[in-house]
Amino acid sequence: MVTKQTKQTQPTCKKKSISEKNTITLDMWRFYLLWGVVLVCFFALVGRAFYVQVINKDFLQNKANANILRTEKLRAMRGVISDRHGVPLAISTPIMKVVIDPKEYFETKAEFDRITKELEKQPNSRKLKRALPDKNLNLDELADAVGIDRAALKKNLNDRPRSRYLVLKKEVPPPQSDLIVKREFAGVYAEKTYKRYYPQPQPNAQIIGLTNSEGIGIEGLEMQLNTVLSGHDGAQQVVRDKKGNRFKDPEVIKEVEAGENITLSIDSRLQYIMYRELTAAGVANNARSATAIAVDIKTGEILAMTSWPSYNPNDKKSLGNKDAMRNRGAVDSFEPGSTMKPLTVSMALESGKYTPNSVVNTSPGSMRIGNHTIRDTHNYGALTLGGIIQKSSNVGVAKLALSLPYATLPTFYKRVGFGQRSAVKFPGESGGLILPPSKWNVSEVGTMAYGYGLNATVLQIADAYAMLANKGVKVPLSLYKLEQPPKGEQIIDAKIADQ
């Protein structure tokens, strides 16, 4: 019997081929490479975002702002200068300045020309028509509206095509500037500024001075107090679209600080009367100039100080006469002459060698000192100290001065305030001149006794006479109204001053 054996098949493991292993490995590398590239791109984007938003954000923000933001200056109103009673002597009135942005104008014009050419090819394109700038680009119309020369306007624009600020005209009345702005010229806008106005010009001009077209003080107290009067300008940001149109209310980024108001010691009524009388006297006597000062001897406040001729700071055409612009009372020094004789007599009384009843022989009406002869207009003979002043005797005061050490008189003058600027410290104020001690010889002291051989200002003379009138107490002069009078200095004895 034949036994049939069943053949059993054993499971066998199928071996992977070498090519199949390589394919799997390659796929894995591709997978890692792809993820690597993705990660690199991711980190690159994160790094770029960090750089743009954190490290370099200011630069990009400024680039964006430059396209839509414009910072405009807000002019501060200049302070008012008033007299001691509150009467305004210098005020600021609103006035406009018409300005153009040349770069914005040319960019708008270039865009207008580009879109116009495209519209010739696509005349029915609504998109192009909407994008067409609606600003007025006619420079001839702009020049006529502003009131300037057409050719000059075009030249100025072409010379500064990348400028962002070009002044077309200053001091434009607000109604006229409103009409110009309403015509929507490309890049044109108006800035509010202020024009200085002087209600009482001639009597006060030499003290107050004036400002230039930019509102900066260039003469007198306007110049000296410019920082105080000017205040601090503010600023606002204006947002514009690509056509230059404002589409958001301006944002104030810096508040305006108005200038301080100044109250002078001047009484404008007295100032006017003084100037009127100086004008009449100057014309009647065919004089080159006339100057006067009035002082409150108790407080040192200057109540009036003016000169003739003067000028009108409201009229720019009158500014050519520089002579009339000087405050002669403070700036001009001269030999004061006989006005010094009361001071010479005061010096003699202070020395103790003389009394009011002392007699000085002035005969024969002249005296010789060195190579110089001092003369009186008449032979007054024997004179008391009061008589010397009454007769205005040159010989008398010269004998008083030369009877004392030569240094006595010039030293006394210096103590009174001559040879130095007054407490007013007015711009350009002269300190006068007293010769140095090496020059104090018989000739110089003799002539100095009656006001020659030295230089002084009217302000110094007024200061000295106020001291005499105030019982020998010198109070610092001031051009500003004082709430409390300053403490004075006793220069000479009250009895001597009264005598």
Catalytic machinery residues: 338
SS3 51: helix
CB-CB contact of 335 with 452 (8 Å): yes
C-alpha pair distances (Å), 11 with each of 5, 14, 97, 260: 19, 10, 103, 110
Give 371: exposed, middle or buried? Use CB within 10 Å, 0-12, 13-18, 19+: exposed
CB-CB contact of 356 with 390 (8 Å): no
CB-CB contact of 147 with 169 (8 Å): yes
**C-alpha angle 396/397/400, rounded to 5°?**
95
Range list of H helices, 89-225: 102-121, 126-131, 139-146, 150-159, 174-182, 201-208, 220-224
C-alpha pair distances (Å), 17 with each of 12, 25, 62, 277, 405: 15, 13, 64, 128, 135
Single-letter amino acid, residue 42: F
Beta pairing partners, 93: 195
Single-letter amino acid, residue 209: G
- Alpha carbons 53 and 55: distance in angstroms, whole number: 6
- Alpha carbons 299 and 497: distance in angstroms, whole number: 18
DSSP 16-42: PPHHHHHHHHHHHHHHHHHHHHHHHHH
C-alpha pair distances (Å), 46 with each of 42, 53, 103: 6, 10, 37
C-alpha pair distances (Å), 182 with each of 164, 179, 189: 21, 5, 10
Of residues 431, 424, 476, 436, the one with CA closest to residue 457:
431
Contacts with 269 (C-beta within 8 Å, 6 or more apart), sequence order = none
DSSP 343-401: HHHHHHHHHTS--TT-EEE-TTSEEEETTEEEE-SS---EEEHHHHHHHT-HHHHHHHH
